[in-house]
Amino acid sequence: MTRFIDLTLNGISTGAVYAAVALALVLIWRATRIVNFAQGGMLMVTTFIASSVIGSSGSYWLGFVVALASGLVLGALVELTLIRRVEGGPPLNAVIVALGLLILLEAGAGMIWGNTPKSFPPAFSIRGYEVGGTRLLFSPNDTFTVLVVIAVAAGLAALFRYTALGLKMRAAALAPEVARMLGVRVGRMFTLGWALAAFVGSLAGLLVAPSVFVGPNQFDPILVFGFTAAVLGGLDSPPGAVVGGLILGLVLSYVSGYEGSSLVTLAALVVLVAVLMIRPGGLFSTSKERRV
Amino acid sequence: MSAPADMGAHSGADSASSFARLARGTMARSLGLVLLGGVVLFLASEALDSYNDLQLASGAYYFVALAGLTVLTGLSGQISLGHGALMAVGAYTVALLVGNEQWALVPALAAAVVVSSLVGIAVGAAASRLRGPYLAGATLAFAIGLPALAEEYPGTFGGANGLVIEPPTPPSWLGASFPLERWEAWIAGAGALVVVFLMSNLAHSGVGRSFRAVRDDEIAASLCGLHVGRVQTLAFVVSAACAGLGGGLLAVVLQLAAPGAFELGLSLALLTAIVLGGLGSLLGAIWGAAVLVLLPGWTNDLAHSFSLSTKVSANLPLAIYGFVLIVGILIWPTGIQGALRRIMGLVRRSPQGGSRELDKHSTSGSGGAST
């Protein structure tokens, strides 16, 4: 029973990270209809920046803030310099540009920081809570991870639902021409969408780095599972991203705990195919009809 | 030269008689292509040293897989991030049959095609329900999930070390000193020629036309009596068969089938190669294969020709690859083949023939349809 609770708690905290990455992918998909395969590279770079800042200043929270800020800047920069040129073109071209950027960022990070993964400090203690004499696989740092992801998801939901800016962003994504006629700076909304996504992504990087370490390729599985979670939930739906992340986190945790870690990727495939066969647009897909 | 292999070129065959003439023409043209390709491959393999013969062989098996993928993505408009896993199916089939059962090479390769086609039926049936990024996600999960089986059943698949097979022996009439690499290049090249013949015919046949019809407008295609899901599944099966043959040839050339060779990176490299080469054309697949084979060597040489720190020189080839992908797509949105065709002034801006038009339509299935 303890094992089950441990695996559940572990699933929730890893699921929260997948949810954050999925949220970042959903934000970009909603804004520009592009699956951002470079997300893993972008959050890797910001986490390396955090690592350098923490190393030289000694302050975790300074590194944390700098990483989030650099996420915002990097996201906007990528949209303005690269993505703007492939937006509205063949979707595959955008995919290839994103893949190219992922490779370029990973190679660049290897040149600057080296290819050997480095440890990364957690925000809070990673010693599990003690309940009735047994130590749980859930630490104050895991609590922080879950709470931060909930806060970000709620913040994004509030932004899109209750603010004028959120309304403009939705309008720019859903009906760019109409939005432009009504005075929305559509291009700026796209840039903002990418910046926000990279912000959320860099947060995911900071949260997961203590357990996977920081290295050019350390975040590849996070990107793959984050994408799987986003597809599971439905790429148009932020709540779907969170639910998808949690489902995936829990399933993978149970499978790796009870059956062994080599089956994890296979389990992800089974879950994804099972869900997509019933709901081809993900769990939270809204529109049934396809446009001609 | 580029026109015969252009699978996007439509031919306005309205009456039955002109269709028959066209079919004969297509068949003759494909045979001509194969003969020409055979002569070029033969001369090239004779002229090259053994290292370059090995590269020629690698290019040939990549081409086989890429030709399948370009049929899937370019003709039927489906995206696959999982073709590396289908290559693994072919490679392991050949390794098991040749290594454990002592099958001859050709039947083993045929079996690889059959087995990967069967897997392709399953994947394709699931894929035909999915669109755009959801298809990308599902095939991505397939690409990372399948190689895990090799590690789960080490008794059968050899675990992380994979399965080693004996190198193919050149027949004795070629002489005792005939280099193994040249023989491998011939084997892989023969596979590539078979694929050229079949795919070139397929693209110009009614089946190819039904692929394009489904790609361009699913509703119109079903109004014309096509079963959209079945057509898409068939495209996936054709493409999986090619991937399986490519994987089988890879196992023969490398004499190894190991999970490390079929990681997600391979699937992504295949996708980038067909887009960079030029989507929907066999020549594009050739350019894509050339990029996959030649670029790593060139960038490695380049990285080591300067005196750089190991950190930089170890990562420079990868950086150049990423840079080439980004810049290549930005300056040639229709790939190398599209750019060449424009340069050679072969683009006729007819509503059906333009390469830009083809590309736009060919990718509409991978995102636009799901909005």
Positive or negative, the CA dihedral B208, B209, B215, B220 is negative
Residue to test with chain A: of B119, B324, B330, B356, most A Cβ within 10 A: B330
Q: Do B330 and A104 touch (CB under 8 A)?
A: no
* Of the candidates B81, B266, B82, B248, the residue with the CA atom closest to the CA atom of residue B163: B248
Percent of chain B with pLDDT over 70: 87
pLDDT at position A144 is 94
pLDDT over 50 at A291, yes or no: no
On the question of pLDDT at B24 being above 80, the answer is: no
Cβ under 8 Å to A: B residues 167-226? 217, 219
Q: Answer whether B362 touches A (CB < 8 Å).
A: yes
Per the CB < 8 A criterion, the answer to whether A81 and B326 are in contact is no
What residue in A sits closest to B308 (Cα-Cα)?
A111
Q: Taking CB atoms and an 8 Å limit, are B148 and A264 in contact across chains?
A: yes
pLDDT(B42) > 60:
yes
pTM attached to this predicted model: 0.86
Residue ranges and CATH numbers for the domains of chain A are 2-115+139-278 (1.10.3470)
**A102 contacts B322? CB cut-off 8 A:** yes
Please provide the average confidence, as pLDDT, over all residues in chain B.
83
| Chain A hits for B265, Cβ within 8 Å | none
Predicted local distance difference test score (pLDDT) of residue B348: 55
Residues of A in contact with B79 (CB under 8 A): 92, 95
Name chain A contacts of B312, Cβ cutoff 8 Å.
111
Query: Which pair of structure tokens corresponds to residue A219?
Result: 């975040």
Among B89, B83, B87, B236, smallest CA distance to B149 is for: B89
Span B176-199, mean pLDDT? 90
Chain A to chain B, count of Cβ pairs less than 8 Å apart? 172
Q: Which of A86, A91, A276 sits opposite B134 (nearest CB)?
A: A276
Q: Does B13 touch chain A (CB under 8 A)?
A: no
Band (B21; pLDDT cuts 50, 70, 90): low
Nearest to A273 among B126, B149, B333 (CB): B126
Residue A145: which of A7, A233, A6, A21 has the closest Cα? A21
| Per-residue confidence band for A100, with pLDDT thresholds at 50, 70 and 90 | very high
**Torsion on CA atoms A261, A262, A263, A268, rounded to nearest 10:** 80
The residue that leads in pLDDT, B18 or B59, is B59
- Nearest by CB to B137, from A108, A220, A231: name it: A231
Chain B (312-331) residues lying within 8 Å, Cβ to Cβ, of chain A: 312, 314-316, 318-319, 321-326, 329-330
Q: What is the pLDDT of residue B349?
A: 53
Contacts of B147 in chain A (CB under 8 A): 265
The chain B residue lying nearest A30, using CA atoms, is B371
Residue type, A122: P
In terms of phi and psi (left: phi > 0; alpha: psi -120 to 50; beta: otherwise), the region of B171 is beta
Residue B358 has pLDDT above 50, yes or no: no
CB contact under 8 A, A111 and B272: no
pLDDT of A19 higher than 70: yes
Cβ contact (<8 Å) for B144 and A269? yes
Which residues on A lie below 8 Å from B133 (Cβ)?
Answer: 29, 35, 231, 235
For chain B, helix (H) and strand (E) counts, in that order, are 17, 2
Which two structure tokens, joined as six digits, stand for A210? 């203590």
Domain residue spans of chain B:
2-370
Task: Please state the length of chain A.
Answer: 292
| Cα dist from B272 to A24, A100, A106, whole Å | 23, 9, 17
> Nearest CB to B333: which of A29, A89, A277?
A89
pLDDT of B16: 54
Q: Is B233 on the interface with A (CB under 8 A)?
A: no
Cβ contact, residue pair A227, B146, below 8 Å: no
Answer for the pair B73, A92: CB distance below 8 angstroms, yes or no: yes
Q: Which amino acid is located at B250 in the chain?
A: L
- The residue of chain A nearest to residue B221, with distances taken between CA atoms, is A292
Residue of A42, A92, A115, A273 to mutate for B, most B C-beta atoms under 10 A: A92
Range name among A35-39, B102-106, B165-169, B224-228 with the lowest pLDDT average: B165-169
Give the mean model confidence (pLDDT) for residues A123-142.
85
* Average pLDDT along chain A: 90
Distance from C-alpha of B244 to C-alpha of B228, rounded to nearest angstrom: 24
Residues B287 and B275: beta-carbon distance below 8 Å: no
CB < 8 Å to B316, chain A: 107, 111
- Cβ neighbours of B311 in A, within 8 Å: 110-112, 114-115
The pair of three-digit structure tokens given for residue B212, joined into one six-digit string: 């394009």
ipTM for the complex shown: 0.87
Nearest to A291 among B142, B314, B371 (CB): B371
Answer whether A222's CB lies under 8 Å from A21's CB. Answer: yes
CB atoms within 10 A of CB B166: 9
Q: Do A92 and B217 touch (CB under 8 A)?
A: no
Task: Name the pLDDT band for A155 (thresholds 50, 70, 90).
Answer: very high
3-class DSSP assignment, residue A77: helix
Q: How confident is the model at residue B327 (pLDDT cuts 50, 70, 90)?
A: very high
Query: Does B308 contact chain A (CB < 8 Å)?
Result: no
Closest CB to B268 among A99, A112, A115: A99
Q: How confident is the model at residue B180 (pLDDT cuts 50, 70, 90)?
A: confident
What is the per-residue burial (b if ≥16 Cβ within 10 Å, else e) of B26-38? beebbeebbeebb
Which has the higher per-residue pLDDT, A184 or B371? A184
* Interchain CB distance below 8 Å, B363 and A91: yes
Q: Measured between beta carbons, which residues in chain B are less than 8 angstroms from residue A114?
A: 311
Rounded to the nearest 5°, which phi and psi values hold at A131?
A: -125, 115
Contacts of B223 (CB under 8 A, 6+ apart): none
DSSP-derived secondary structure for A179-226: HHHTT--HHHHHHHHHHHHHHHHHHHHHHHHHHH-B-TTTTHHHHHHH
Q: Provide the residue type at B68 as one letter.
A: G
Instruction: Please say if the pLDDT value at position B17 is more than 60.
Output: no
| Cα radius of gyration (chain B) | 20
The least confident of A45-49, A225-229, B12-16 is B12-16
Dihedral (CA of B153, B156, B158, B163) sign: negative
Contacts of A106 in chain B (CB under 8 A): 318, 322
Name the residue among B323, B330, B367 with its Cβ closest to that of A104.
B323
B259: pLDDT strictly greater than 50 = yes
Q: Cα dist. B202→A172, A225, B71, B207 in Å?
A: 42, 37, 9, 6
Q: A13-17, A98-102, B33-37: which has the minimum mean pLDDT?
A: B33-37
Phi and psi torsions of A151, nearest 5°: -60, -45
CB-CB under 8 Å, B370 with A281: yes
**pLDDT score at B346:** 57
The pLDDT confidence band at residue B261, using thresholds 50, 70 and 90, is confident
pLDDT at B159: 82
Cβ proximity of B142 and B84 under 8 Å: no
Is the pLDDT confidence value at B366 over 70? no
Q: What percent of chain A has pLDDT over 70?
A: 98
pLDDT in tens, B49-99: 888 899 999 999 999 999 999 999 989 889 999 999 999 999 999 999 998
Among B134, B142, B279, the residue with its CB nearest the CB of A280 is B134
For residue A164, give how far its alpha carbon lies from the nearest alpha carbon of chain B (Å). Answer: 24
Q: Is A164 in contact with A179 (CB distance < 8 Å)? A: no
